[in-house]
A and B are shown apart, each in its own frame.
Chain A
Amino acid sequence: MNAARKLSCLVLLAVCAAALAANWLAPAGYAKQFRDVPNAPASRQHLLGTDDIGRDRFARVLYGTRISLLLAPAAALVSTALAALVGGLAGYMGGIWLQMARGFTDLFLSLPWLFLLITVRALMPLNVSPLVSVLITFLVLGLLGWAASARVLSTSADAVRNSDFVLQARASGLHGPRLFLIHVLPNLKPVLYAQFWISIPVFILTEANLGILGLGVAEPLPSWGSLLRELEGLISFREQPWRLVPLLLLVVVMTSFQLLLSNEEVTA
């Protein structure tokens, strides 16, 4: 393991530990409103200041990290699994199946998902707890976010299918699911990992955008998405640099995830 990967591991461990210790590090909690000090600057009482309605930003960052770091990867896992199923199988089967899968993913990508998301929100019951709403949000993201990855995977699987070692395996009498599981899928792993890591920041940012549609994480629960929304309309960072912390955290965590990828996965 090289130094960069070791450092990334340490950073991610530290972030995860801080998120898990949120109750202890920020006993005030993420919802408590200190109404006498809204938009307060960073201080000993509020390490990252307070938000528009006086909630401790440090507590919200910690609890938001807990939610986003748990659920964005979970959604990425769902979407990558679906992508592997649709794209990987289609690429492996080739021919008409590949064409059909590509047509289907193209169609899926061209659909106006914004309207579907609005419909999903409109259909949801109103009295759901913030935790249920956040689970639904990320599940929907996972179920809808597979198409772009499936396209990449189908191309890679197609290349693997036509490779010499698969040809040799076929010649040796290996067919069907056994060939897919033993020879094709392991060779798709770098692409799958890459797609998985790429999806995480995409889902975090999509969740932030969904907040505008009302489908994001419900108040008062924080998420990186809702914390990033705080940056809307911020003209000068010089006056309140602590407001950049959620963005910096996102960049650091995503960079760490990327550095964890092996060279093979990166080139994939």
Chain B
Amino acid sequence: MNTNRTGRHTVLWALTCFALLLPLTSVAALSQSGGELRFCLRSEPKTFDPLLVDDDSSLSIRYLTGGVLVRVNRHTQELEPELAESWKLAKDGKQIIFKLRHGVVFSDGSPFSSEDIAFTMQRLMDPALHSSTGDAFRSGNGAVTTKIIAPDQIAVIFPAAITGLDRLFDQVAIMSAHSPKKEAAVLGPFMVAEYKAGSSVLLQRNPNYWKKDSQGRRLPYLDSIRLDIQSNRDVEMLRFKRGEIDLINVIDSDYFDRLAATSPQLAHDAGASLDYDFMWFNQVARAPIPEYKRAWFRDANFRRAISQAINRDDLSRVVFNGHAQPAVGPVSPANKFWFNSKLKAEPYRPDAALQRLQGDGFHLQNGVLFDKSGNAVEFSIVTNAGSKPRERMAVMVQEDLGKLGIKVNVVTLDFPSLIERISQKFNYEAAMLGFRNVDLDPNEQMNIWLSSAENHAWNPQQKSPETAWEAEIDRLMRAQASTAEPTKRKESFDRVQEIVAEQTPMIYLVNQNALSAISSAIEGADPGILSPQTFWNAERLMLSPSTRASR
């Protein structure tokens, strides 16, 4: 009896406290709303047309202003409903039906309906527009069509199956079919209010944004975001330290450590990102390189030995001050679903590397490695000039391989010359570059893995696969692309990762960590590994009262 009464009292107390605290939390949120968030874009945005976005700065603006049907949660990596309340993928992967949210209007007040989706898709797929966002939806010959089922329901139909179709809509900002403001009418949390070329872009709160917080308050909390165009990273860091800007989305490890030394609470390391640095050997049959070198480069044993002779732990520790992880393969462990967890990064084993090479007839003589025909093992690694981390990595690889008696010449080239050499003239021996992975889905990498692809770095545009393992990768990549079943796709892509580990056509070096700087004036920040790392939840970011008062 007593126990029951005590229990009832506890419940009553809890309810009373909750009732008292509820308005207080709303007041707290209210007191922190408003203000102007400031950060830098590293280059001029090339376009404000969301369907033509192709550069980082425009991408940031599109993310902040564009409304999308579905959004990949940058924290959980799961797909979440946005303008579409729900969606249904057809089994054959050729059709997706969206059920739209009610009561949504564009920033200029024009209503949102399935007509806007039809208009956006029609414009996106117009070949004359040359939209790189649209390229991801081109699955086969024939037009992409839309069918308006109801004002709040629409089907988008594709000529051939597209795997991971729903996730692709994360990149499609919906445009208004009827608004006279065209791309200036947006559905995202902010809208472009002012653009000063070469100086800044001012985004203001979209007063008609549909989303509300748990207390029913309309988002976003911020009044505006000012994006200063600033390419110099030193200046960007100085401005951050002075409190003139509130965040740096991506910073180098050097800057990160300097910041962490003085203000550790502002430096955020979200762990391994999806990006990787890698090197590869030129295996192109018509490349103007000596035949004996081509034979080394085409030998999986040679490639594997080189991979074993590289100390990835040192690369991570020395070049990135520990803010990088030895890379395992084409998929970062940060990609929770697609990473093949059976694989491990190649450990540093110079003795095993030498044994492997000796097994192929290579031999050491006075500290110099010779092949079985008596040719001294020497090759050059080309990389892009101006990238300090990559230049440092190349010099460290040079020393690692020097211990095996291999002479490596490091050549830094300006980017256009480098691209010309590796993709047109094939006049190089080995190359070192970085890959920026913006999507989690392996379909993003189709243009790397198919032997016929232009970006099949080590031997592109093959008429038919030149090796059995490349044929197998072709088959597996096509198999995973032709089914919508995630487990079957994962099975195929896991095998691709295993073949790549065995054959080592690319030598994966490190996955850099996602490093960022966030001012203590910002509340609600939750930096992640997916782009945009720091402001993916911009609609829920708040500024401290003192910062708001000072602006």
Contact = CB atoms under 8 A, between A and B. Distances in A.
B is a partner of A: yes
Interface of A: 31, 33, 35, 38, 52-54, 118, 121-122, 126-130, 211-214, 218-220, 233, 235
Give the secondary structure class of B's interface: helix
B390 to A, nearest CB: 12
Nearest to B383: A214
A121 B413 CA distance: 8
B385 A214 contact: yes
B291 interface: no
A33 B396 contact: yes
Given A127-B409, A212-B386, 14 more contacts: A33-B395, A54-B318, A121-B417, A122-B413, A126-B409, A127-B379, A213-B385, A214-B385, A218-B409, A219-B394, A219-B395, A219-B398, A220-B395, A235-B234
Contact of A122 (B380, B394, B412, B417): B417
Interface of B: 233-234, 237-238, 254-255, 258, 314, 317-319, 378-380, 382, 385-386, 388, 391-392, 394-396, 398-399, 409-414, 417, 420-421, 427-429
What are the 4 closest A-B residue pairs judged by CB atoms, nearest first? A214-B412, A214-B385, A126-B380, A122-B417
A129 B407 CA distance: 10
Contacts of B409: 126-130, 218
Given A126-B409, A127-B378, A218-B411, A235 B417 contact: no
A221 B514 CA distance: 32
Contacts of A122: 413, 417, 420-421
A214 B414 contact: yes
B385 A35 contact: no
Contacts of B234: 233, 235
Contacts of A212: 385-386
B315 to A, nearest CB: 10
A4 to B, nearest CB: 37
A114 to B, nearest CB: 9
Contacts of B254: 233
Contact of B398 (A35, A213, A220, A235): A220
A117 B429 CA distance: 22
A53 B414 contact: no
A126 B411 contact: yes
Contacts of B417: 118, 121-122, 214
23 contacts: A31-B399, A33-B395, A33-B396, A35-B314, A35-B317, A52-B392, A53-B318, A53-B396, A118-B414, A127-B380, A128-B409, A211-B385, A212-B386, A213-B385, A213-B414, A214-B385, A214-B411, A214-B417, A218-B410, A220-B395, A220-B398, A233-B233, A235-B234
Contacts of B382: 126
Nearest to B380: A126
A92 B319 CA distance: 57
A133 to B, nearest CB: 8
Contacts of B314: 35
Contacts of B255: 233
B303 to A, nearest CB: 19
B413 A214 contact: yes
A129 B317 CA distance: 28
Nearest to B255: A233
A38 B396 CA distance: 12
A42 B396 CA distance: 22
Contact of A53 (B319, B410, B411, B428): B319
Contacts of B378: 127
Nearest to A51: B392
A125 to B, nearest CB: 9
A235 B259 CA distance: 11
Nearest to B238: A235
A35 B392 CA distance: 12
Contacts of B414: 118, 121, 213-214
B429 A126 contact: yes
Contacts of A128: 409
A31 B395 CA distance: 9
Contacts of A214: 385, 411-414, 417
A126 B411 CA distance: 7
Nearest to A33: B399
A35 B318 contact: yes
B258 to A, nearest CB: 7
B258 A235 contact: yes
A209 to B, nearest CB: 11
A9 B399 CA distance: 39
A224 to B, nearest CB: 18
Nearest to A117: B414
Contacts of B420: 122
A220 B408 CA distance: 10
A26 to B, nearest CB: 17
B17 to A, nearest CB: 50
A219 B379 CA distance: 14
A88 B210 CA distance: 77
B417 to A, nearest CB: 4
A235 B237 contact: yes
A35 B254 CA distance: 16
Nearest to B254: A233
Contacts of B392: 52-53
